[in-house]
């Protein structure tokens, strides 16, 4: 079941449909929107028919593009058959059309209260929320603590968003056509990562993304790292390498330029802003940020309860649990299972 079905022409996605769909989903509503719902191999007609039949409200974005195409009008016909006695099932949005056009094309809806995008999307969304909040909801602000991801935008504007995990067991994260779409971050790939549930719990997988997925090492927990792993300490990048003399951390800046090289041996070596071993002048690094040591030809890292954390760019798949944090592009995610 969905709270709302969004009926629109594809030409109106960028300006109207997608911003509304993403806002409503971020508010916790169950939204049937093609980019959220349709998966490779789905029958489009069957999926749409099922979505219409199982949505409480139908949001229809009337526009010149809408009236020039058959498919959106077929969706409207399906929604009209579901109109309840109060007539509140259809929520009309006018985009570059007026009442005169509506009277000529769908006269049965001409007298229905509508909101125009000329007033701004914030006004449109407010009107939609007024309706959704006044009626029953499938999922809005559910008191049940279902597994979800919290997203924190690390860019110029701080934002916090909650995403329920896909009940199918696989939740995809990327720029488009994923369960969680992040379109305003140029560091995010089309399909960047997947969160998967199996018999052993949840795993995080990098889907061959361009910029990688960075897992936050749990505080004071020993974690093995391998040659080729990239470790982030504050805003500094440390590449794990190995030669005949043993392990080394190659210290690079964000542009990949090498700053220093730190040999690692069986002695515990502490990295930090004020450290007895290796000092890195970076205000985002804690005084004693992390410890590193090699033993039996293996390399280990421990985060020393740092403020901003220690992250590792992993390859393939990694097991995560309640409270695990990871970074994708400029986004920080936290898994919440309680």
Question: To 10 degrees, what angle do helices 44-53 and 70-80 make?
Answer: 30
| Entry pTM | 0.57
The residue among 73 and 141 whose pLDDT is bigger is 73
Cβ 225 vs Cβ 299: under 8 Å: yes
Q: 6: which strand partners?
A: 59
- How does strand 213-216 pair with strand 191-198? unpaired
Calpha distance 230→249 (Å, rounded): 9
**Mean pLDDT value across the chain:** 86
**Distances from the Cα of 7 to the Cα of 75, 99, 116, 256, angstroms:** 7, 19, 16, 46
Known catalytic residues are 75
Tell me how far apart the alpha carbons of residues 285 and 235 are, in angstroms, rounded to a whole number. 8
Structure confidence by residue, pLDDT tens digits, 211-269: 999 999 998 889 999 999 999 998 899 999 999 889 999 998 777 788 999 999 888 99
């Amino acid at each position: 079941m969905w709270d709302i079905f969004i009926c629109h022409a594809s030409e109106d996605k960028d300006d109207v449909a997608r911003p509304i769909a993403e806002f409503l989903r971020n508010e916790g509503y169950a939204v049937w929107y093609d980019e959220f719902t349709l998966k490779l191999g789905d029958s489009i007609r069957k999926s749409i028919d099922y979505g219409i039949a199982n949505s409480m409200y139908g949001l229809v974005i009337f526009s010149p593009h809408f009236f020039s195409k058959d498919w959106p009008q077929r969706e409207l016909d399906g929604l009209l058959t579901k109109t309840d006695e109060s007539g509140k099932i259809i929520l009309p949005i006018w985009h570059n059309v007026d009442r005169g056009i509506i009277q000529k094309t769908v006269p049965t809806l001409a007298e229905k209260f509508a909101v125009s995008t000329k007033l701004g999307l914030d006004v449109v969304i407010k009107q939609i929320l007024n309706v959704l909040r006044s009626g029953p909801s499938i999922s809005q602000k559910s008191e049940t603590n279902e597994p979800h991801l919290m997203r924190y935008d690390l860019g110029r504007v701080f934002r916090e968003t909650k995403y329920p995990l896909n009940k199918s067991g696989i939740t995809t994260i990327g720029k488009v056509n994923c369960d969680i779409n992040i379109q305003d971050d140029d560091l995010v790939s089309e399909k960047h990562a997947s969160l998967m549930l199996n018999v052993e719990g949840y795993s995080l997988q990098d889907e061959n993304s361009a910029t990688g997925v960075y897992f936050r090492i749990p505080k004071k927990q020993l974690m093995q790292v391998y040659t080729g792993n990239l470790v982030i300490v504050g805003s500094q990048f440390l590449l794990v390498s190995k030669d005949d003399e043993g392990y080394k951390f190659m210290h690079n800046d964000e542009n990949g330029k090498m700053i220093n090289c730190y040999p690692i041996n069986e002695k515990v070596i502490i990295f930090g802003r004020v450290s007895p071993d290796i000092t890195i002048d970076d205000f985002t690094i804690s005084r004693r940020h992390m410890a590193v040591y090699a033993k039996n030809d293996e390399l280990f890292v421990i985060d020393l309860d740092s403020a901003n954390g220690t992250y590792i760019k992993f390859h393939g798949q990694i097991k995560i649990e309640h409270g695990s944090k990871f970074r994708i592009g400029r986004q920080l995610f936290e898994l919440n299972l309680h």
